[in-house]
Amino acid sequence: MLKEDSLKRKSFVSVMSLFFQSGYSAFLGLTANIVLTILLSPSVFGIYITVLSLISLLNYFSDIGLAASLIQQKDISDDDVSTAFTIQQILVICAVLLGFMGTNAVASFYSLPKEGIYLFWSLLIGFFLSSLKTIPSVFLERKIQFQKIVLVQVVENTVFYITVIVCAILGFNLLSFAYGVLFRAVTGVVMIYSLSFWMPRVGIRKSNLKRLVSFGLPFQSMSFLALIKDELVNLFLGKVVGFTGLGYIGWAKKWGEAPLRIIMDSLSRVMFPLYARLQGDKAKLTNAVEKSLFYQTLLLFPATVGFIIVMPHLLKLIPRYNKWESALPLFYFFIVASFFSSFSTPFINMFNALGRVKISLLFMLFWTTATWMLIVPMTKVLGYYGFPVTILTLSLSFVAVLYKAKKTIKFNFIGSIMPPIASGVIMGVIISLFQFIQMPRQALFLSQIFGGFIIYYLVLLHMYKINLITITKEFVKMK
C-alpha cells in the first residue's frame, strides 16, 4: 500500500509539474507569438516551420526507440544504458553530418534565404546537443520525477523565448530563432546533467542491443509514421501552398492544438510509465485509464470551447494581429480535431505500456496512409484548407481505438467523459450570450474567460455533485 501511495504521489507531483511547465511555456509562447506575429510576416513563420520539419526528419534516425525501451523495461543494467547511448550518438552524428552536407540541396529546393540556411545549421547543432540529454532524462522518467525534467524545460523555454523576442525587437528577423535554439540547447545540457548526472559510457553489447531493439524498433516505427504524417506534410505544404500559406496553417495549428499540448502532453508523459507499472493489475489499470479520461476531458473540453468563443475577440484586441484573420477558419478545424484525437492518447499509451506496440503501430500506419491519401487531393481542391479538413476527418477514428481497447480492458467511456462535456456545453452556450450585452471588447473578453470558469464550476457542482476544489484536495492528500 505504501508503494502504491508513493507511486500515486510521484504521479501527481509529476502531472502538476508538467501542467506548470505547460502553462508557463504557454504564457511565454503567447507573449513571444504576440511580439513575433506583430514584427514578422507569415512567410517567415512558414520558413521556420519548414526548417524545423527538416530537423525532425533527421531526429527520427537518432534513437530507434532505445530511450523508450529503457523506460518500458522493469529493470535496466549499465550495459543497457551504455549500449543505448552509443547507438544513439552514432546515429545522431551521422544525421548531423548528412544535414550539413545536404545544405545546398535543401536551400535550393525551398529557395531559402541566407538566414534560413543559418537557422538550419543552428537547429542541427541544437539537435546534437539535445541528444546528450536523453540518458539523464530516462533516469528521471523511470523514477517518475518529472518535476526535475520540468525545471530544465522551464529554464530552456525561458531562455529560448526571451532570446527570440529580444533578437526580433533588435531586427534579427529569422536569425532570432537561430540564436534562441543555440542558447536553449546549451542551457538544457548543462542543467540536466546538474540534476541527473551520468558519466557517458561508450560500448555496445549485442545481447543488450537485441533486447532493447525488440521493443524499440516497433515503438520507433510509430515515430517514423508520425514523422511521415506530420513533418513531411509540412515539407509538402511548404512547397505546394507556399511559405505564407504554411504560415497560416502553422499559426492555426499552434493555437488549435494549444489546449491539447498544454493538457494532454502533460498527462501523456506520465501515463506511459504509470501504466507500465500497473500492467500486472488490470483492475488498477482500468481505474487509471478511466481517471485519465475523466481528468483530461475535465480540463480539455472547457478549454476547447473557451478558445473557440474568445479567439475572434483576441484577433481584434491585439494590435496588428488581424493579419491572421484568414487563418481563423483553419483554427476551428484544428481545435475540434485535437479534442477528438485526445481520446486515442490514453489507449495508445496503454497498448505501449503493456508491450503491445504492434497495435499502436497498426493504428499509426492507418493514420499515416490515410493522411497522404487524403491530403494530396484535398490540397489540390481546397488549397491550404485541405490539410485541416483531412486532420478533422481522421480524428474521428478514435472510435476504432476505443473498440480495440475494449477488448483489452473493460472501461466506462461515456460515464468518464459525460459530466465535463455536458457542463462544458452549458458553459459555452451561456458565455456566448455575453456578446449581446453592451460592453467594451476588452470587458467582453475577460468576462467570457472568468465567467466561463465560474459557470463550469457551478454546473459541475450542482448537476453532478463534482467539486473541483474537493477533488484537487483529495488528490493531493492521496486519500
pTM (2 d.p.): 0.69
Name the amino acid, one letter, at 187.
Answer: T
3-state secondary structure 184-234: HHHHHHHHHHHHCCCCCCCCCCHHHHHHHHHHHHHHHHHHHHHHHHHHHHH
Where does the pLDDT of residue 183 fall: very low under 50, low under 70, confident under 90, or very high at 90 and above?
very high
Query: Crossing angle of helices 345-353/398-406, nearest 10°?
Result: 40
> How far apart are the C-alpha atoms of 299 and 301, rounded to whole Å?
6
Query: Are residues 68 and 216 in contact, defined by beta-carbon separation less than 8 angstroms?
Result: yes
Mean per-residue pLDDT for 318-327?
81
The pLDDT value recorded for residue 43 is 74
Mean per-residue pLDDT for 207-225?
65
Reference 212, options 352, 69, 90, 82; nearest CA is 69
The pLDDT value recorded for residue 136 is 85
Q: Identify which of 138-142, 233-237, 332-336 has the greatest average pLDDT.
A: 332-336
Residue 62 phi, psi (nearest 5): -95, 0
Cβ neighbours of 425 (radius 10 Å): 14
pLDDT, tens digit (0-9, with 9 covering 90-100), for 452-473? 999 999 999 999 888 887 776 6
Judged by DSSP in three states, 43 sits in helix
Query: Are residues 276 and 72 in contact, defined by beta-carbon separation less than 8 angstroms?
Result: yes
> How far apart are the C-alpha atoms of 281 and 299, rounded to whole Å?
27
CA 478 to chain centroid, in Å, comes to 28
The pLDDT value recorded for residue 417 is 95
Query: Are residues 372 and 228 in contact, defined by beta-carbon separation less than 8 angstroms?
Result: yes
The pLDDT value recorded for residue 53 is 64
> How far apart are the C-alpha atoms of 155 and 461, rounded to whole Å?
37
Q: Where are the alpha helices (DSSP H) in 134-199?
A: 134-142, 146-169, 175-195
Higher pLDDT, 450 or 20: 450
DSSP state of 385: G
Grid coordinates of 173: 528577423
The pLDDT value recorded for residue 2 is 40
